[in-house]
Amino acid sequence: MKNTATARYAGHLRTEATHTASGNVIQTDAPVDNHGRGEAFSPTDLVSTALGACMMTVMGIVAERHAWDLTSATFTVLKHMSPEPPRRIAQLDVTFSLPASLAPQERVLLERAAHTCPVGLSLHPEVRQNIVFEYK
């Protein structure tokens, strides 16, 4: 089995990871509040963004199956770190903006699908997930 990714420490609290299958490269930087420069995604930013991206991807699978167009859909993520030790993600707020043209039954299917996302199901139960669906 092939590695998912390989990574190296680049110094100054930064890493560079390469996706094995595609060669795509991402960099991380420690956040400003934890000795970094905040010039790239932090590792916890990646986890936060992965939740939204995973949910959107699962909704996209359902939408493609039914020929619904989600190309204008977006999401935002707000990460809340725990104020007390140990340092960890305490809450993730993900807000989806989806087309208003989706019918009520389509919305139900998409929202239900989003909650089956593997990233969300893999997060520790103590990480609160506040998921909001807006239709504009």
**79 shares its domain with 47:** yes
**79 shares its domain with 15:** no
**75 shares its domain with 124:** yes
What pLDDT is stored for residue 1 in this prediction? 81
Cα dihedral 68, 74, 20, 15 in deg (nearest 10): -170
Longest Cα–Cα distance in the chain? 50
Encode pLDDT of 122-131 as tens digits. 999 999 999 9
**79 shares its domain with 52:** yes
pTM of the model: 0.94
Name residue 114's amino acid.
Answer: A
Encode pLDDT of 18-72 as tens digits. 999 999 999 999 999 999 999 999 999 999 999 999 999 999 999 999 999 999 9
**27 shares its domain with 76:** no
What pLDDT is stored for residue 104 in this prediction? 98
